[in-house]
Chain A
Amino acid sequence: MRIGLVCPYTWDVPGGVQEHVRGLAEALIELGHEVSVIAPAEDESLLPYYVVSAGRAVPVPYNGSVARLAFGFGAVSRVRRWVKDGNFDVLHVHEPTAPSLGLLACWVADDPIVATVHTAIPRSRMLHVAQPILQSALEKISGRIAVSEAARTTLVEHLGGDAVLIPNGVSVRRFEKADPLPGWPGAGGTLGFLGRIDEPRKGLAILLQAFALMAPQRPGLRLLVAGPGDADEALEQVPAGLRGRVVLLGQVSDEDKVRMLHSVDVFCAPNTGGESFGIVLAEAMAAGAPIAASDLDAFRRVLRGGRAGELFETGSAASLAAAAGRLLDDPARRATLAAAASVAVRDYDWKVVARDVLRVYEAVAPAAGRMAVAL
C-alpha cells in the first residue's frame, strides 16, 4: 500500500509521538509498503529518506505548556503538495486534535484517513471551545486508533465516536544488544530506574526508600537512575551516607538508554498509577533486564501475571526492597525472568503492532488493501 504518515511534532526533537511514528514507518517499510512521513523539522539534512519536511515548527503556548507546532499558509501548502504528490491509498494522521500538521492534513485531503490519538487531554474546556473547529476536519476520519484506554476515553468523552485500541510498539531489535555503561553493573549489584525523576507517579521516591532499606545490608549495592528532573531534590531523599552510591545520569540519548538498561541487575518500575501500558517496561524487557514492577493492572498484563517479572505491592518500599533483594540473591531466577520477558515482549514488537495497524488501513481502504494482498 502507499501510506502517508503525518507527524505533528518536530522530527528531530525527542518525543513519544515521534518515536511512535518512526517505529511504525520502519516496520511498515520492512513489511514491503511504500511509506512517506511528513513532519516539521529543525535540520532537514538529518532526516531519514522517508521523511519530508514541513518546515520549522513554532513554539507557542498551547494547552498549558509551550508546544512546537506547525501551522499557517506555508505549512498548509506543503501538506497539500505532499498529499497530492504522494497519491496515497491511506493517510495516517497522528494526534489529529493538536493544532498542527495532522489537523491540516485532515483539512486538505480527500483520501481515506486513519487517525491515532496518543494523549489523554485533561483540559476539557479547551476542547469544548475548539470542537466546532475540529468537527468538520475530524468528520473525515474513517478509522480511529487510540494507544491507551485513557486516550480512548478522552476521545469518546470530548469528540464522540469510538476508537480501536492498539498499544504502542517497541523496536525490540534496537534494545536487544548493547554494551553496559563503563563500570556497571559492578560486583555488589545494581538497581535501575528510567523515567522522569520529579514525577511522583513514576515512583522514584519509593525506590529511593527501598534503596535506603537495602543498602546497609548490601555494601556494594548501587542505584543507577536515568531521566530528566531536578537531581539535587531527588538526592535529598537519600540518607547522606548513601548518596555516593546513587548515580543520576539525567536525560540520556537513545543509545545510552539502551546501554543503561543493559547495566542493571534489577530494573525497577515503582510506578503508582496512571500508566496505561508501560512502554518503559517493554523496553526493559526487550533489553533482557530482570524486572521488579508495581502490581498495577497494566504491568501485570505486560509481565504475564508475574511470569516475566517480579511484581510487588504498589507504593510499598518494603515490598519493593524484598522483591529486589530476592532477585539479587538468585541469579538463576533473574535469568529465567529475563528469558520469559524477551519472549513476552515479542507481542509488543513493532512488527506485530504494524500488522494490526495494516488491518485498520485495509478496513478503511478495502480496495487498496486487496490490491496489496494480491500483489
Chain B
Amino acid sequence: MTAITSVIVIVVLAMIGVYVSWRAGRLDRLHARLEAARFALDAALIRRSSVALELASSGLLDPAASLVLAGAAHDARSARSGQEMPESDLTRALRAVFSQSDFRASLSGAEGAEELLAELEGAAHQVFLARKFYNDAVAATRIARRKWLARALRLAGGAAMPEFFEIDDSLAPAGEDGRGADMPHLTS
C-alpha cells in the first residue's frame, strides 16, 4: 500500500516538476523576446535621430526648420535610452517639417532629397513597428508574471517588471491617411 502511495506521490511530484519547468521556460522565452524587441526599439530610435540630423544638416531645409529639427534630434540622441518625452518631441518636429503645405514641392529636384526623405520615412516606420512589438512583448510578459505560480515561485527571478514605452510616433497628420494603413507613404 505504502509502495503504491509513494509511487503515486513520486509521479505527481514529477508531473508538477515538468509543469513548473515548462512554465519557467515559457517565461524565459518571453523575456528573450522582450529583450530582442527592446534592442530593436533602441536601434530604431537611434537610426531615426541620425537620419533626422542628416536631414537637418543637409541644406535642403530652410535654416529655421533645420534648427528646430537639429535641436529635437540632438535632444533625443543625448537623452538616456528609453526617455519618452524627447522622442515624442522629435516626432512632432518631424511632423511640423513634413506637413508644411509646400514641403514636397520645395524639395523636388534637389539632389539627394528623395533618397533622404525615403530613408527618414523608413526610419520613422521602423520606430512605429519596433515600439508596437515591444509594447506587445511587455504586455504578454506582464500578464505571464502576474500569474499566481510565477509570483509564488519567483519564476522570473530578479528581473525588473518591464514598462511600456509610450511616445507619439506617427508622421501622418491627424485624420489624413490615404492608404488606410498604419504606415503612410509620404514619398513616392
* Residues of chain A whose beta carbon lies under 8 Å from any beta carbon of chain B: 112, 136, 139-140, 142-144, 160-167, 277, 298, 301-302, 304, 347-348, 352, 356, 359-360, 362-364, 366
Contacts and interface: CB of A to CB of B under 8 A. Distances in A.
B182 A143 contact: no
Contacts of B137: 142
A366 B134 CA distance: 13
Contacts, number: 81
Interface of B: 26, 29-30, 33, 36-37, 39-40, 43-44, 122, 125-126, 128-130, 132-133, 135-137, 139-140, 143-144, 178-183, 185
Given A142-B36, A356-B125, A362-B126, A347 B132 contact: no
A352 B126 contact: no
A143 B133 contact: yes
Given A139-B140, A142-B37, A167 B133 contact: no
5 contacts: A139-B30, A142-B36, A359-B122, A363-B40, A363-B129
Given A112-B36, A142-B37, A136 B133 contact: no
A347 B29 contact: no
A302 B183 CA distance: 15
Contacts of B132: 143, 162-164
A133 to B, nearest CB: 13
The 6 closest A-B pairs by CB, nearest first: A363-B129, A165-B182, A366-B40, A161-B136, A143-B133, A363-B130
Contacts of A363: 40, 44, 126, 129-130, 133
Nearest to B177: A301
A140 B183 CA distance: 24
Nearest to B40: A366
B179 A142 contact: no
B26 A359 contact: no
B124 to A, nearest CB: 10
Nearest to A301: B180
A158 to B, nearest CB: 14
